[in-house]
Amino acid sequence: MPVGDPALTLADLAGIKVTQLRGVDQRTAERLLGLEISTVLDLLQHYPRRYLDRTRQATIGELLPGDEATVLGSVVSAKSRRLGGRRTLTQVVIADDTGQLNLTFFNQQWREKQLKPNSEVLIHGKYEVFRGQRQMTSPVVDLVGDRTGRIVPVYPQSEKAGLTTYRIASLVTEAINRSRARGFADPLPASVIGRFKFVDRQMALQGIHHPSSMNEMYQARRRLVFDELLRVQLELVRRKQALTTQTKGIAHQMSGDLVNRFHESMPFSLTEAQRRVIEEIGKDLAAEYPMHRLLQGDVGSGKTLVAITALLIAVEGRYQGALMAPTEVLAEQHYLSVRKMLKQLMVPAPNSLLGVRPLRVELLTNRLGAGQRRHVLADLISGGVDIVIGTHALIAEKVEFKALGVVVIDEQHRFGVEQRAALRDKGTSQDAPDVLVMTATPIPRTAAMTVYGDLDVSELDQMPPGRTPIATSAAQSPLAVSEVWQTVRDEVAKGRQAYVVCPLIEESDSLEVSNVADMYAELQSTELADLRLGLLHGRMAAGEKEAVMAQFRKGALDVLVATTVIEVGVDVPNATVMVVADADRFGIAQLHQLRGRVGRGQHQGLCFLVGEPSTSEAKARIEALVASTDGFELAEVDLELRGEGTIMGERQKGRNDLRLASLRRDKEAVKLAREVAVEIIEADPDLRLHGGLREEIELLLGDNEAEFLMKS
């Protein structure tokens, strides 16, 4: 590449195929494609997964039984033998200056060809001593080749792709060497680089792939992590600002007394957290641009009251409110709850004799009879309905509003992006309605900045007074499980009710988990034979489900045996016991949601997590639930255990463009990136003065991705 040409941008690198590198023939190109590498940019963003620090390398001789270790050795021998049937055992011996180590692989006969005598390999696994022999079973293997240098990068490799980490490293080296004449363009403003003491892009790419020390690698990673997070934050902040400056909203009148009358009618005082969040929402509603706010609140923190307050502000100004829930069970639950809370409220009615009428709340789901549905639809158009509560039926084509002012979307992660946008688009005037999305599945604030970065975030981090924390315990032995059923019988004898939740509806060959139908039949004939049991699962007809729920609500059933259909929103104050079968099959957020179904009345709630955890991660989840009832604290634990893949999946349909950044490890970088993004967009909303950054956002996020970010 001739000297004097402009520095290489990421777009330039994305335009150079790996086949232009020396030694990349068609076969190698196909193997690289197996690692999703087709361009030089893909190659340079295929970062090492770990580094072999030869200055701190473990030797075979110093390993202790039980150690998780990484060792470098030379292959002595590799032999396979049949075990019967199609099973094979491959035994490999490696050695270093301090001793030998046996490696055992089952049904991986190809290891014999892969691990040739005298080749250098990096092995990562659990060290054990078996019959006096040092060994590791099924360790992770990286072929490092004859690498020199103090720090050796080890790349993610697919065994099937047939590429060694040595081969990948040599291609990366060639790409960097051939780019050196032109160098890499750096779009980050010099003021930001100086303020945070970042290395430049050239040093970052060199340092992440070929560090001369671990400190050089850390500095390189710090810069590249910031770049990834800044791109996401710039797009979120840019689109959020466009929404607030280019979309006309409704400036709601805040002077009426409807909200005050509602709050005064409540038999309890609002928490400080509720007052703070209502004030935040009030400021949004009074503004001339549409509200776009996420309300995070733990189970039982009083989100419904906050949501009703927002809807009433709309009604006060002669607008309508809509609340969309993900399931019919939850929509009907909300309808009963909201109607009960608002039954005394009157609103102005100039054409009536008394000048006022009762505030009108209606339910709209697919289960509504044709005549009733027509009636509700007509009154939505005429303005006769003040607040409508429903499922995705609210976004059907035939549903029109006279003047939709505020939209509340509950458990927003259950809805597709398009469904949420469709309800927002139901505003019939030129003014976009205000949108409040709620979730009872909190995620840590740094993750929220990335997943919901286009939303303002409010947190209800305080419980209403008088709510006793739910007592949670694990039942992992037959005796403990027997005591759980005795507790259920004791609670029912006191006039209370219980839930039993199972993970699957039918038998599964792949998972040995409780089947809800079998559990129901077994409990009916054994432990809970004298009690009134009901069965509820997602495959039942809607009418059947509601009939069972209605029976449970009114106390005609003692125990409800169910799948996770009751996870969200079901509110039966008399239910005090939650038994979760095969609890290790559920995630932290789901278990916390299920636990929140009990203890909603004046009696102590009890939760039993039944079953012995099959993995260390499942054990950690159960221990976390037993130790804490704080949803925000549990969200942090969940992020630590699961990583951000699932969280980022909510934002990006499973694609994670954070190749290096981790919402777990890089919390400070998330905050810095947000801070810098706000500064840049406030001074340069269209990024006209930051063309390099704009180009990278378009290249790496793309229009579809950006649209998805915003709609969610």
Which residues lie below 8 Å from residue 707, measured CB to CB, with a gap of 6+?
none
391 in the same domain as 338: yes
Q: What's the pLDDT at 651?
A: 46
Distance of alpha carbon 696 from alpha carbon 184, whole angstroms:
13
pLDDT at 710: 43
By DSSP bridging, strand 292-297 and strand 434-439 are: parallel
Condensed to tens digits (0 to 9), the pLDDT of residues 646-667 reads: 444 444 433 345 788 877 778 8
Q: So what's the pLDDT on residue 317?
A: 87
Sign (positive or negative) of CA dihedral 616, 617, 622, 628: positive
Give how many domains the chain has, as a whole number: 4
pLDDT (0 to 100) of residue 54: 65
* Range with the largest mean pLDDT of 326-330, 389-393, 663-667, 678-682: 678-682
Are β-strands 120-126 and 140-143 bridged in parallel, bridged antiparallel, or unpaired? antiparallel
Report the sign of the C-alpha dihedral through residues 14, 17, 20, 23, in that order: positive
pLDDT at 424: 62
Q: What is the pLDDT of residue 650?
A: 45
Q: Cα(61)–Cα(393) distance, rounded to whole angstroms? A: 67
88 in the same domain as 179: no
Model confidence at 3: pLDDT above 70: no
- Which pLDDT score, from 0 to 100, does residue 375 have? 92
**Would you say residue 451 has pLDDT above 80?**
no
Give mean pLDDT, residues 390-407.
Answer: 84
Span 607-634, pLDDT tens digits: 999 988 878 888 888 999 999 888 878 8
Residues 394 and 262 in one domain: yes
Same domain, 37 and 178: yes
Has residue 511 got a pLDDT over 60?
no
Q: Are residues 112 and 169 in the same domain?
A: no
Is residue 505 within 8 Å of 517, Cβ to Cβ? yes
Distance of CA 177 to the CA centre of its chain: 39
Q: What pLDDT digit, counting tens, does each position of 199-209 carry?
A: 999 999 999 99
The predicted pLDDT at position 549 comes to: 86
Q: Which of 570, 599, 628 is the last residue of a domain?
A: 628
pLDDT by residue (tens digit) across 33-61?
Answer: 888 899 999 999 999 988 877 666 678 98
Q: Looking at the domain assignment, is residue 559 inside a domain? A: yes
Rounded to an integer, the average pLDDT of 637-648 is 63
- Of 217, 91, 72, whose CA–CA distance to 146 is shortest? 72
Q: Could you give the CA distance from residue 287 to residue 454 in angstroms, rounded to a whole number?
A: 17
User: What is the band of 140 on the pLDDT scale with cuts at 50, 70, 90?
Assistant: confident
Q: Give the pLDDT of residue 420.
A: 52
Q: How many CB atoms lie within 10 A of CB 298?
A: 24
- CA 502 distance to own-chain centroid: 22
Q: What is the pLDDT of residues 229-252, one digit of tens each?
A: 999 889 888 877 877 777 788 888
Give me 370's structure tokens: 């044709």
What is the pLDDT of the chain when averaged over all its residues?
A: 84
Determine, yes or no, domain membership for 315: yes
CA distance 333 to 545: 13
Same domain, 57 and 22: no
Q: What is the pLDDT of residue 103?
A: 94
Vertex 471 angle, CA 520 and 602, to 5°: 90
Query: Domain of 546: which CATH number?
Result: 3.40.50.300
pLDDT band, very low/low/confident/very high, at 1 (cuts 50, 70, 90) = very low
| 711 pLDDT higher than 60 | no
Residues 270 and 389 in one domain: yes
- Tokens 């270790």 found at: 69
Q: Are residues 499 and 562 in contact, defined by beta-carbon separation less than 8 angstroms?
A: yes
This prediction's pTM: 0.66
What pLDDT score does 656 carry?
46
CATH number of the domain that 100 lies in?
2.40.50.140
For the cut 60, the answer to whether the pLDDT of residue 489 exceeds it is yes
pLDDT band at 712 (very low <50, low <70, confident <90, very high): very low
Domain contains 230: no
Rounded percentage of the chain residues whose pLDDT exceeds 70? 87
List, for residues 342-382, the tens digit of each pLDDT value: 988 888 877 777 788 889 999 998 888 889 989 999 999 98
Q: 311 and 418: one domain?
A: yes
Helix then strand count (H, E) for the chain reads 25, 24
Q: Which of 154, 175, 208 marks a domain boundary? A: 154
Lowest mean pLDDT among 157-161, 185-189, 526-530, 692-696: 157-161
User: Do the beta carbons of residue 104 and residue 112 sit within 8 Å?
Assistant: no
Which of 441 and 371 is assigned the larger pLDDT? 371
Residue the block writes with tokens 């993004």: 677
Q: How far is it, in rounded angstroms, from Cα 38 to Cα 591? A: 42
Which long-range contacts does 198-203 make (Cβ < 8 Å, 24+ apart)?
198/222, 198/223, 198/226, 199/223, 201/227
312 domain residue, yes or no: yes
pLDDT of residue 84: 76
Half-sphere CA count of 145, side-chain side, radius 13 A: 15
Higher pLDDT, 81 or 3: 81
140 and 181 in a single domain? The answer is no
Domain assignment present for 210: no
Q: Tell me what the mean pLDDT of segment 136-160 comes to.
A: 73
Asked if residue 419 has pLDDT above 60, the reply is no
Identify the DSSP state of 349. Answer: -
Q: For residues 94-118, b (16+ Cβ closer than 10 Å) or e, as one string?
A: bebeeebbbbbbeebeebbebbeee
Measured from the Cβ of residue 341, the count of other Cβ atoms closer than 10 Å reads 16
Looking at residue 652, its pLDDT comes to 43
What mean pLDDT comes out for the span 469-488? 93
Query: Is 639 part of any domain?
Result: no
Percent above pLDDT 90 for the chain: 37
Q: Let me know if residue 247 belongs to a domain.
A: no
Tell me: pLDDT of 423 over 70: no
State both tokens at 25.
Answer: 């023939």
Domain-ending residue, one of 628, 657, 675: 628
**Residues 485 and 364 occupy one common structural domain:** no
Q: How far apart are CA 395 and CA 220, in angstroms?
A: 48
Question: What is the rounded CA–CA span in Å between residue 50 and residue 151?
Answer: 10
Helix (H, G, I), strand (E, B) or coil at 426: coil
- pLDDT tens-digit series, residues 66-115: 887 888 899 999 999 988 777 889 999 999 999 999 999 988 888 888 88
| Cα 585 to Cα 515: distance, rounded to the nearest angstrom | 13
pLDDT band at 606 (very low <50, low <70, confident <90, very high): very high
> What would the two tokens of residue 442 be?
């909190």
Q: Is residue 656 part of a domain?
A: no
Q: How confident is the model at residue 156 (pLDDT cuts 50, 70, 90)?
A: confident
- In this structure, the answer to whether residues 307 and 429 fall within a common structural domain is yes
> What residue numbers bound the domain in which 319 lies?
258-286+301-439
Same domain, 393 and 361: yes
